[in-house]
Structure 1
Amino acid sequence: MTSKTITPTVKPYEGPAGGWDSAKSVAGVLFKEHVPLKGSRLLSTQNKPEGYMCVSCAWAKPAQPHPLEFCENGAKATAWETTSRRADSAFFSGHTLGELEQWADHDLEEKGRLTHPMRWDAASDKYVPVAWSDAFQEIGRELRALDPHQVDLYTSGRASLEASYIYQLFARMYGSNNMPDSSNMCHESSSVALPESIGASVGTAILSDFENTDCIFYIAQNVGTSSPRLLHDLQDAINRGVKIVTFNLLRERGLERFVNPQSPVQMLTGKETPISSEYYQVKNGGDIAALFGVCKALIEADDVLKASGQNPVAGRDATPKDPDNAAMIAFAASMASADKKHVLDHDFIKEHTTGFEEFAAAARAHQWNELEHVSGLTRAEMKKAAATYANSNAVMMVYGMGLTQHLMGVENVHMVCNLALLRGNIGKPGANICAVRGHSNVQGQRTVGITEKPGLAPLDKLSELYDFEPPRWTGRSTVETCEAIMSGQSRAFVSLGGNFLRAVPDTAAMEAGWRKLRLSVQIATKLNRSHVLHGEVAYLLPCLGRIELDQQTSGPQAVSVESSIAHFHGSRGKAKPASPELLSEPAIIAGIAKATLGQTKIPWDAWVGNYAEIRNAIERTYPETFKDFNERLFKPGGFARPLPARERKWVTKTGKANFITPGKLFPDFSTADRSDVLHLATLRSNDQFNTTIYGYSDRFRGVEGTRRIVFMNGEDIARLGFVDGEIVDMTTAIDDNSVRNVGGLRIVQYNIPKGCCAAYYPETNPLFPLAHHDPKSKTPSYKLLPVRLSRSTLTQDD
């Protein structure tokens, strides 16, 4: 089912990020959702002290906000949630779930806000209204009949700190550590790699680093689509003379040029700010090789100074590898410190790190031709980036999911840390690591205990506070939950937000397993694919959105979230609730918990009546992290989570920051070198956020009216015998005795390295085998998959 037929068009977009087209897009979505006046009033309070925190991305909220502290995607998220459209009881009475299965994702969500608790009725194949108390009692009865090992409790990135805390507490009191969450699918590689490298589970950067840096290495993150408010910080830095060195697969407009919609001068004159001073298009999966190349150039330049007698502290076995010694000496001199004795920060390396010699030896051993082949960059480009890095005093490392969603995602993050450690670019003003997170509280939910790993949760403290014995066994991550659903080991799935079926790999196999669940419970604001497919017993429980006024017995409530820079912020809903039948997330969790657990030491009703009591409980559980939580809740700019690595205190096994050397440059694919194989990366459009599709426009890439696209290099199109605009099928090129195919994709010639292609997420998720993930973090490798193309019998309309 589609709401209307649109003729697809592809035409290169010549405009900047931001500017008038962004303003038009915001106005358009407000009118589309019938909230132009209400939406405008709400947006004036978005991401501001005493306002509500955006339900879209997790970028930082400044203490002194801009007049309009929202971006195009944030405005879309607000309009999408506060829409006047309703998926009410009348809607569900007119449609079977079998019928709704045929609808497009966009059209399911576009029906609007859910208004009543619903239960699936097998006889009619429809959702029918149910009383909240009856829903809680039956869910509790079903859960009590199951072994907690058989139950998975998922959390999306939008759940508040308060909801996340009581959800993990309920799960553990029930007896389950199966708490997969959206972190497993995006930045889990960071959560594994950063503690190993620097002893912090999140990035160390704060907003003031953008004011103190003189160089930013921007790696594999599309700021214009994924976190446009960050463009303000980049623009301010550029205006101070900061250089931005970008490594990215595609030429993304937000990383090229920007017109600030909040600057009258720029809007009237069209004056653009160039973003990247250097832009390197890295082959898909070539990030380790590219970063190794930069490190190699730095290390060998340092070696040259040693060999010339000027650097007595470099590695003992260092030998310059450049055949043109005079050129190498000149290059080394151009990168040397003020005293001309070193390129690397040997004092920092000696005092604060381990593993340098092994890493330096590996960098020297890699041959330039090998690094060029894997990365897609030339030796000259990698050396130029190294020179820029060496001639900067404080360098920030900013990266996103283009690094983490890989088979070697953990090693990718290790390499970012290695590069930072070479010149002491961690733990000083303007020099830190910034892992740009996606959803608005995806980082925070982990901070308050949403984790399948018992070693990361304060189990002894929970036991002391609430008089129960938490389970100590390792729970299931997202990938392991999918395996359990496919095999029938998982019998129940409770989801606190999200669209799990659309977010995970191996779509066809997952949907088949999903139908065999005994119980599926979905806490949500809008209808999506994960709701119209269901278990034997299925409930759809509508909740208040973060933007809505949350009135409880003690009065209007506030919730809290954690930003990408590890600052906590209060959020106060402003909009009238979509229905008087809605309950808050904490109220729904408490209702299920009471019905499942019976009498406990937890004052569920008191917590629901006053969220400040939940925050007091969070502070008791994490006294150092959340000291004076309620008092600091609405501090402008938020209050910081303590991170020892910011102060160069390394909470690692060695007590120091660790150089960790990847064992290889690229994953081992049996099909990787075959001439007909391309390496696929999935993308988001600027008309979506995660699995939510706002519309069929990808303005920056010039695509209108369709999402069934494959972006290809022109030489690959010709080499494989295709033409621009041709319709093709895409098949997974991994030998695992399964055939995975997505058909009807239109070829679009694009500026992408040879041997690579790109297509939209989640449309191409069916191609990704569940086993195709990082072995340590288990993050699906959505940014790297070998595929083949063939001529299609389908059309775009199919």
Structure 2
Amino acid sequence: MCDVTGERDQDPATPFYDHPTGGWGSLKGVLRQATKSRIRLGTLETLRRQNKPGGHMCTSCAWAKPPSPHLAEFCENGAKATIWDLTRDRCTPDFFARHTVTELRSWPDHDLEAVGRLTHPMRYDAGSDRYVETTWPEAFAAIGASLRGMDPKTTVFYASGRASLETSYLYQLFARLYGHNNLPDSSNMCHETTSVALKQKIGAPVGTCVLEDFEHCDLMLFFGQNTGSNSPRFLHPIQQAKRRGCKIVTFNPIRERGLVEFMNPQSPTEMLTGRGTPISDIYLQLRPGGDIAAIAGICKHLFDHGDVDRGFIAQHCHDFDAFETWTRAQSWEGIETASGLSQGDLAEVAGLFAASKRVIGVYGMGLTQHVHGGDSIGMLVNLLLMGGHIGRPGTGICPVRGHSNVQGQRTVGISEKPELVPLDKLAQMFDFDPPRDTGMTTVEAVQGVIDGSVKGFVSLGGNFARAIPDLARAEPCWAGLDLNVQIATKLNRSHLLVGKGAWLLPCLVRAERDGQKSGPQAVSMEDSLSHIHGSLGRRPPASRHLLSEPAIVAGIAKATLPPNPRVRWDEWVADYGRIRDLIAETYPDQFADFNDRLFQAGGFYRGNSARRRDWQTESGKAEFTVPPGLSALGVMPGDGVHTLVTLRSNDQFNTTIYDYHDRLRGLEGDRMIVLISRAGMARAGLSEGQRVTLVSAVADGIPRRVEGFTVTPYDLPDGCVAAYYPEANPLVPLDHHDIASKTPAYKGAPVRIET
């Protein structure tokens, strides 16, 4: 257990950060990034308006925007993302003239993006092995010609989570008019497990909470979510909840500082006194994949003491008896072994749960990125249903999404699953026959690149080739693509895997002014709590040659598709309000009066059936489910095998590396490190600072190894090691993913350590 007022359970012989999250450390982190990026004074005005009505919405995390914003409604990571976007540095045609693509492939991820903003559309020239300047008409015509010559089913249209609702709607329409549903997005690599599991269990594919629920809950349970680095603005409602007496329990293999203590940088008293707010009342460092067992232990204790809302269950739930039978049959020995936690610790959590009238379950990718990630979510749903904690104010299940609009993209049709998209409505609106077959997920798209069945790849932002599992095996295969189109703001490694034809198309960032024929344009996105927000950029574009994402998508589509009088690309790009009208027509129940509500304070809520206790499942009720076992890993590691957890650092967002500081973990400088407990080091015969190789322990006949890791002691559970993402991605096999959603199991890959 964790005594949050001190470091009683923190191993003092391992690195850690002994200050609160936020505070002066956060301000120093922002200032360091601002100095490196040489920002202008106008960037400060941009930050002042960030995440506020009439301002631009952050491109970092997807946490909710309150109706009454704070003076500064941005966090350390959000400020870094905006500063990174608005850097003075430029990646011009002259830069590409000085460097071949082969040379640039040897550069680190950080150095590639640090070159600065892309300024011109570029075409890969194989003869010189360089990107060369081109024009937009030439780029669109050539890309369109290539796509027309391909079987649409052999192409993939990938979308990063930062693209707006307007862009995403046009993108999915383009894909279906072209003839495929191959629309994987970054959700496939993080929270797709949520969309699949929650839809099956409660009939809604997203979380049920809204921001006001955190003002009324008595207990928050956190599973695998690093609030301090991944969604720091969430710490404001958490801090307020703590101050009114809400209890917080955290389950995470790693002691993440944001859920131990928080100092609000906007509180003069806290900043001057140096006193933060203790967050977690109980912090349990369970084993990776041990969430199923931990929740089973809590449920078992509740059954033994009769702390179950059987009236709610009888009215609203299905298959409860099977779950109760399974839970009572689990032995405490098995629960303790799989979770790494004691019966006493889990009984204490069960006591808090039983005493609480309103409970919220919060989780992140630590719960979802496992072979049985969907079963882990199912167990959390089971626990909440046992107390009737879904569908009442102050209760619910709350997946915390990562990228800014990753949830919203799915809402407006970016999905490989045709059953999730109103295809009949699209057919009626645009007079065409949409494809009805299931498209490729991220895993299937990567497999297609490897086996050669994918011929063309269009990427709407992101760094797909660097974010995927098994990336070392996949990387040489990109050379076999006939077409690789990258819509981007900065250079990254995916742009350097050029294939037979490659195009680099630079776009505006969200904070920049987007002027079209009808005037300045706003875009929109959806936050983690299903609220829709308008965003208006005001900064001058980094280059006069940049186009907006909607304009680029429309330009490629016009050059690819035959004319259709109902498909008016030019009119839609001229006025994004017309795109929002299309979204409202396609999804009338969720987006009625879209344009009128665009800048509603706090966003407008698109609704959630499960929050109304309208269970849109096969049974018409909320589903209790029985997991196949106590571990989400699928197979428990054997002798000499460790479970690898991949991490993002404090100076990182997805594959973007802002700097080499991981302040909130007390780590600096080197990203090629493997974290392991001192006890684990002793058993493996390792010494601090020793260079080792990590090798995949998946027995599929495919060698996977990454050399050059430095052994670093860290406070981790037995049998667990940790390393940074994406450096450790080659160790995660493509087939090692959640069974239902195919989300890669980045938080539970078996590895061996070779000296």
TM-score (structure 2 length as normaliser): 0.97
Q: Is the 8 A contact 2:371 2:633 kept in 1?
A: no
**In the alignment, which of 179, 183, 196 is matched to residue 183 of structure 2?**
179
Question: How far 1:12 moved relative to its partner?
Answer: 3.6
Query: Is the partner of 1:299 in helix, strand or coil?
Result: helix
Match of 2:312 in 1: 348
Decide whether the 8 Å contact of 1:30 with 1:39 is kept in 2.
no
Tell me if the contact between 1:511 and 1:533 (Cα under 8 Å) persists in the aligned partners.
Answer: yes
Equivalent residue, structure 2, for 1:514: 478
The answer (yes or no) to whether the contact 1:185–1:780 under 8 Å persists in 2 is yes
What residue number does 2:623 align with? 658
**2: CA distance between counterparts of 1:119 and 1:570?**
34
Question: Match for residue 647 of structure 1?
Answer: 612
Q: What's the CA shift for 1:13?
A: 2.4
Summarize deviations over 1:289-325 as a string: whole Å, max 9, x none: 00111111111111xxxxxxxxxxxxxxxxxxxxxxx
Deviations 1:537-559 (A, max 9, x none): 10000001111000000000000
Q: Is the 8 A contact 2:15 2:714 kept in 1?
A: no
- Do the aligned partners of 2:295 and 2:379 also contact (CA within 8 Å) in 1? yes
Which residue of 593, 596, 599 maps to 1:634?
Answer: 599
Residue 751 of structure 1: CA displacement? Answer: 1.1
SS of 2:481 mapped into structure 1:
coil
User: Residue 370 of structure 1 is aligned with which of 334, 348, 351?
Assistant: 334
SS of 2:161's partner is coil
Gaps of 5+ in 2: 1-13
Residues of 1 paired with 2:550 and 2:365: CA distance?
A: 30
Task: Indicate which of 710, 734, 738 corresponds to 1:774.
Answer: 738
Correspondent of 1:251 among 255, 270, 277? 255
Residue matched to 2:449: 485
Deviation at 1:578, TM superposition (A): 0.3
Within 5 A, what are the aligned runs for 1:585-600?
585-600=549-564
1:126 maps to 130
Report the secondary structure of 2:182's partner residue: coil
1:588 maps to a residue whose letter is: I
Instruction: Specify the alignment match of 1:151 in structure 2.
Output: 155
In 2: Cα distance, 1:710 partner to 1:65 partner: 40
CA distances 1:328-368 after superposition (whole Å, capped 9, x unpaired):
xxxxxxxxxxxxxxx21111100000111100111000000
Please tell me the residue identity of whatever aligns with 1:575.
Answer: R
Which residue of structure 2 aligns with residue 61 of structure 1? 65
Q: Are 1:34 and 2:71 matched, yes or no?
A: no
Q: By how many angstroms is 1:675 displaced?
A: 2.2
The letter for the 1-side match of 2:154 is Q
Partner in structure 2 of residue 536 of structure 1: 500
The offset of 1:36, in angstroms, is: 5.0
3-state SS, counterpart of residue 625 of structure 1: helix
Question: Which residue is equivalent to 2:53?
Answer: 49
| Equivalent residue, structure 2, for 1:300 | 304
CA contact (8 A) 2:184 2:440 kept: yes
Give the aligned CA root-mean-square deviation in angstroms.
1.1
Say whether the 8 Å CA contact 1:72–1:228 is kept in structure 2: yes
Q: Which runs of 5+ in 1 are unaligned?
A: 1-9, 303-342, 792-798
Q: Deviations over 1:104-142 (max 9, x none)?
A: 000000000000000000111110111101110110100
Structure 2 counterparts to residues 135-214 of structure 1, below 5 A: 135-214=139-218
What corresponds to 1:739 in structure 2? 703
Q: Which residue of 2 aligns with 1:616?
A: 581
Question: Alignment partner of 1:229: what SS?
Answer: helix
In structure 2, C-alpha distance between the alignment counterparts of 1:725 and 1:208, rounded to whole Å: 48
Distance in 2 (alpha carbons) for counterparts of 1:655 and 1:389: 27
SS of alignment partner, residue 425 of structure 1? coil
- Equivalent residue number for residue 789 of structure 1: 753
Aligned equivalent of 2:3: none
Q: Secondary structure at the match of 2:754?
A: strand
Match of 1:218 among 199, 203, 222: 222
Give the Cα–Cα distance (whole angstroms) in 2 for the partners of residues 673 and 608 of structure 1: 53
Instruction: Kindly provide the amino acid, as one letter, of the partner of residue 742 in structure 2.
Output: K
Question: 1:245-278 deviations in whole A, cap 9, x for unaligned?
Answer: 1111111110100110000000000111000011
- 8 Å contact 1:112–1:526 — kept in the other structure? yes
Would the aligned equivalents of 2:376 and 2:632 in 1 still touch at CA under 8 Å?
no
Distance 1:691 1:139 in 2: 26
Distance (Å, rounded) in 1 between the aligned partners of 2:477 and 2:66? 44
Compared with structure 1, are the counterparts of its residues 204 and 667 closer, same or farther at alpha carbon in structure 2 (3 Å cutoff)?
closer
* 2:11 corresponding residue in structure 1: none
CA distance in 2, matches of 1:195, 1:669: 22
The alpha carbon displacement at 1:568 in A equals 0.2
Post-superposition CA distance 1:468-511 (Å, at most 9, x none): 00000110000000111100000000000000011101112211
Distance 1:762 1:569 in 2: 31
Q: Which residue of 2 aligns with 1:687?
A: 651
| Whole-angstrom CA distance in 2 between matches of 1:242 and 1:543 | 44
The residue identity in structure 2 corresponding to 1:99 is E
Q: What residue number does 2:694 align with?
A: 730
CA positional deviation for 1:775: 1.7
Give me the whole-angstrom Cα distance separating, in 1, the residues matched to 2:417 and 2:268: 50
Displacement, 1:666? Answer: 2.1
* Equivalent residues of 1:30, 1:36 under 8 A apart: no
Q: 2:111 is matched with which residue? A: 107
Query: Which amino acid counterpart does residue 69 of structure 2 have in structure 1?
Result: P
Of 674, 693, 714, the residue aligned with 1:750 is: 714
- What amino acid sits opposite 1:455 in the alignment? E
Partner of 2:464: 500
With 413-422 and 736-745 compared, the bigger mean Cα shift is at: 736-745
Structure 2 distance, partners of 1:535, 1:160, is: 28
Q: Note if 1:357 corresponds to 2:321.
A: yes
Q: Is the 8 A contact 2:183 2:439 kept in 1?
A: yes
2:420 to 437, 456, 465: 456
State the AA in 2 paired with 1:558: A
Rounded to whole Å, the distance in 2 between the matches of 1:371 and 1:150 is: 46
Q: After TM superposition, give the deviation of residue 669 of structure 1 in Å.
A: 6.1
* Equivalent residue in structure 1 for 2:352, among 372, 383, 388: 388
1:554 corresponds, among 518, 523, 536, to 518
Q: Using the alignment, how far apart are the partners of 1:99 and 1:208 within structure 2?
A: 52
User: 2:539 aligned to 575, 600, 619, which one?
Assistant: 575
SS at structure 2 position matched to 1:523: strand
State the shift of 1:725 in Å: 2.1
| Contact in 2 for aligned 1:59/1:227 (Cα 8 Å) | yes
Partner Cα distance (1:408, 1:35) in 2: 45
Aligned-residue offset at 1:674: 2.6
2:292–2:632 CA contact under 8 A, matched in 1: no
Question: Is the CA contact (8 Å cut-off) linking 1:696 and 1:704 kept in structure 2?
Answer: yes
Output the CA distance in 2 between the equivalents of 1:392 and 1:269: 33
TM-superposed deviation, 1:663: 1.6
Q: Does the 8 Å contact 2:61/2:401 carry over to 1?
A: yes
SS of the counterpart of 1:359? Answer: helix
Q: How many residues align?
A: 742
2: CA distance, partners of 1:99 / 1:781: 32
Select 1:421's aligned residue among 369, 385, 395. Answer: 385
Measured after TM superposition, the shift of residue 667 of structure 1 is: 5.3
Question: Greater shift after overlay, 197-206 or 719-728?
Answer: 719-728
Q: Aligned partner of 1:651: which letter?
A: Q
SS where residue 643 of structure 1 aligns? coil
Cα distance change, pair 43–668 in 1 and its aligned pair in 2 (3 A): closer
SS of structure 2 residue aligned to 1:515: helix
Letter aligned with residue 727 of structure 1: R
